[in-house]
Chains A and B, each alone.
Chain A
Amino acid sequence: MITHPTQFISRALDNNRLSDGFYELELEWNSHAPAPTPGQFLTIRIGNGKGTVPLLRRPFAFSSFDADSSVVRIIYQTRGIGTEFLASARRGEELDVIGPLGTPFAVDTDRSKHIIVAGGIGLGPMLFLSSYLTSRNISSRFVFGCRNEGFIPSIKRFTAANPLICTDDGSAGFRGTAADYINANILPDINTDTTIYACGPLPMLKSVSKIAKDRNANCLVSLEAVMACGVGACMGCVVPTVNGYSRVCKEGPIFNGKDVLWERM
């Protein structure tokens, strides 16, 4: 069995608008490549080698993996040339893919309470994690924070997670951030028997990590950085941790919140 990442030519199967801000690309997964697990990512060569702008491959976290049909999905926002390329991908378009990359979430089954916190585009890997836990009969709570109601997806995989929705402007659900919601409503329920899984903007990750620390809970966060190689070779994507500089693409993107030197992030 192959355990290392694989490079292959995939094909776009579908490209769906999830909400005002989010799109989801569905693409073929190579059945000879290892199965992606929540927290891991792939890189895509933007433009398939036509031109040198943009140059570097772009990383995207898996938002789902269906082993039977060998299909993966990634959620993205159109923010620049790279993601505009993805948005323009039509059914059947070939994509140069490398994956799966990075260290996935280590689900801690010794603890009985699982809280998934997703902020904005951090939704992708957390949807994957939510369905992964459900498929293993592990119940979890899902808190999703975004700018306004326009960002809330209507897909079944999202509603199936039974998300507690928070919006910055109060246009839907709780008014405030995901961290605000946790602080206001579920703090007493967080303790040593809890694991919080988080992906989203840095301020959210910092807040959630602090909550976990104060409540002696376990906390796993997904970090982001500009990457060149994506495979651990170039040392370009490091973040400061208690173990020195750690590569987001190799030791990460999932880190234990207590290991990250947040004040230097």
Chain B
Amino acid sequence: MGTNVDLSVRIGANTIPNPVGVASGTFGYGSEYRGLVDFSDIGAIYTKAVTLEPRPGNAPPRLIETPSGILNSIGLANVGVEKFITDKLPYLSTLPCAVIVNAAGATEDEYRRVIDRIENVDANGVFGYEINVSCPNVNHGGLAFGTDPAQVERLTSSLRKSTKKPLIIKLTPNVTDITAIAKAAEAGGADAVSLINTLVGMVIDVKGKKAVLGAKTGGLSGPAVRPVGVALTYRVKRAVSIPIIGMGGITSADDALQYIMAGASAIQIGTANFVNPKTASLVLSGIRKYCVSNGVPSLKEICGIAE
């Protein structure tokens, strides 16, 4: 395999070793996959969303399989920032991949306090933050922020003051114009945007005449949503100059390269982790193989190349 292919990705002032990350909510806090994956193949692990207080999450059922996808309504169930710091961060800090904390909140103050708390205890264990302004499964889980450009810009610039580490704003596809939100994140000082979070969906049990999920609606992910993610990556690439981290239905190197050619600098594997925990390794080796066989020295050469 070619060792002269540069797969590192710069985000803000820092660099992740390779473009393949594992998406928030699909990889817990890393330790759940101990022994099942090679963490040195993973460029970045995006943690389960961390909120100021622990959250129990939504009433079950929370999950249903749909054609080539899954619909979930987890509802940001997480241990809260204090337990994250004491119970989860020590293990994450031992991993060779970049640790990116996905932060969520109901108010601007809650987001800021999550980041401040981690900044106060951690110097090196955390690479950066992904700000979840796009969870479709809670009433005040960010989607209220994520659908309004003015609020995204204000939240981003407020959080910018709390950290010098890479700040990534995670965008929702459930808006009329995602480029307006991406531009707002850039204007607020974000180092990158990541997209897409899940699409709002619903499945009804016809026999029982009711919604299958306890929360009625959920977020759709998996291969079914990939063309949506690729298209929105393509549009956002033409609207901002900060890096884009693309995700949505990636299961193979080919899928990942679609996002990269649409304009993504890095990608995240989400639902596919459930199908095969080693997906990130397979995608990384496939990307490297592609670069070697096609004489691509760096992914920058093909980022956004598709016209």
**Interface residues, chain A, with chain B CB atoms under 8 Å away:** 2, 4-7, 45, 49, 52-57, 96, 98, 225-240, 244-245, 264
Contacts and interface: CB of A to CB of B under 8 A. Distances in A.
B295 interface: no
Q: Which 10 A-B pairs have the closest CB atoms?
A: A233-B28, A4-B35, A236-B63, A233-B32, A52-B68, A228-B274, A235-B77, A52-B223, A232-B32, A231-B32
A98 B32 CA distance: 13
A226 B64 contact: yes
Contacts of B62: 235-238
Contacts, number: 105
A228 B64 CA distance: 9
Contacts of A236: 62-63, 72, 74
A35 to B, nearest CB: 15
Nearest to A7: B36
Contact of A53 (B28, B56, B68, B251): B68
Interface residues of B, number: 37
A226 B66 CA distance: 12
Given A45-B276, A225-B61, A245-B56, A52 B36 contact: no
Contacts of A233: 26-28, 32-33, 48, 273
B227 interface: no
A236 B274 CA distance: 11
B75 to A, nearest CB: 9
Nearest to A80: B65
A239 B60 contact: yes
A98 B277 contact: yes
Interface in B223-269: 223-224, 251
Contacts of B224: 52
Contacts of B26: 229, 233-234
Given A232-B32, A235-B57, A49 B63 contact: no
Contacts of A226: 61, 63-65
Given A49-B275, A225-B60, A228-B72, 10 more contacts: A5-B35, A45-B276, A55-B223, A56-B70, A56-B274, A96-B276, A234-B274, A235-B57, A236-B74, A240-B60
Given A7-B278, A52-B222, A55-B223, A238 B69 contact: no
Given A55-B69, A226-B61, A231-B32, A45 B74 contact: no
Contacts of A49: 275-276
Contacts of B33: 231, 233
6 contacts: A57-B274, A98-B36, A226-B64, A233-B28, A234-B72, A244-B56
B102 interface: no
A221 B33 CA distance: 26
B134 interface: no
Contacts of A245: 56-57, 60, 77
Nearest to A6: B35
B125 interface: no
Nearest to A237: B63
A235 B74 contact: yes
Contacts of B67: 53
Interface string B22-34: 0001111000111
A228 B27 contact: no
Nearest to B278: A7
A229 B62 CA distance: 13
A218 to B, nearest CB: 25
A98 B277 CA distance: 10
Contacts of B65: 54-56, 226
Contacts of B51: none
Interface string B55-94: 0110111111101111010100100000000000000000
A5 B69 contact: no
B271 interface: yes
A134 B69 CA distance: 43
Contacts of B222: 52, 55
Contacts of B64: 226
Interface in B191-247: 222-224
